[in-house]
Amino acid sequence: MFKDFTTVKYNEEQHYSIVLKMWQDYGWDGVEAKYLPTNGVVIYFNNKIITAGFMYTCDNAPIAMLNYVVGNINAEKQVRGVALNLLINTLTDDARKHLGDSGFVFTTIQHKGLENVYKRNGYSVGETKMTSLFKPFDNNFNTDFLIE
């Protein structure tokens, strides 16, 4: 099913501007490159980036967070769907390799369609009435990507 897709490790220099454009196509400012982990995955189909996502890991606890997953809004819906499944499977497998079987991975999302992709890949809904809080240490910190 995934044979026509290519999975590569995220490379900021090669991929960031394209991933940023994909976020912006959905009306979101995106994340500054310096806040993205080096553990990211990009999925190609016919030499075009279809999806990208990132995994944050803890060195002092068996927990990982998948975040900033995005699909190319201009890709065929079916191609984007297959690529999202491949992306989530790949990042989840990477988390398991990093954390071992006693760990877990979580994510926070707003997009109902993406929530359904996660559910089809074995994820369960946790908290539903959460408030996201943040405290930047730099007064010049641009919070636009953190606020709806």
Task: Decide if 88 contacts 66 (C-beta within 8 A).
Answer: yes
Percentage of residues in the chain with pLDDT exceeding 70? 92
Specify burial of residue 35 (Cβ count, 10 A radius: 0-12, 13-18, 19+).
Answer: middle
Half-sphere exposure of 25 (CA within 13 A, CB side): 14
C-alpha dihedral, 130 to 109 to 55 to 135, nearest 10°: -40
C-alpha dihedral, 59 to 132 to 81 to 2, nearest 10°: 0
Percentage of residues in the chain with pLDDT exceeding 90? 59
pLDDT value of position 51:
97
Taking residues 61-69, report their average pLDDT: 92
Taking residues 106-133, report their average pLDDT: 85
Give the predicted TM-score (pTM) of the model: 0.87
* Structural domains of the chain in order of their starting residue, each with its CATH number: 5-146 (3.40.630.30)
Order the strands of the 104-107 sheet from edge to edge. Answer: 5-9, 40-45, 48-57, 63-71, 104-107
* pLDDT tens digits, 27-36: 988 899 999 9
* Higher pLDDT pick, 125 / 128: 125
Residue 1: pLDDT above 60? no
Taking residues 55-64, report their average pLDDT: 91
* pLDDT tens digits, 92-109: 999 999 888 888 999 988
Taking residues 29-53, report their average pLDDT: 94
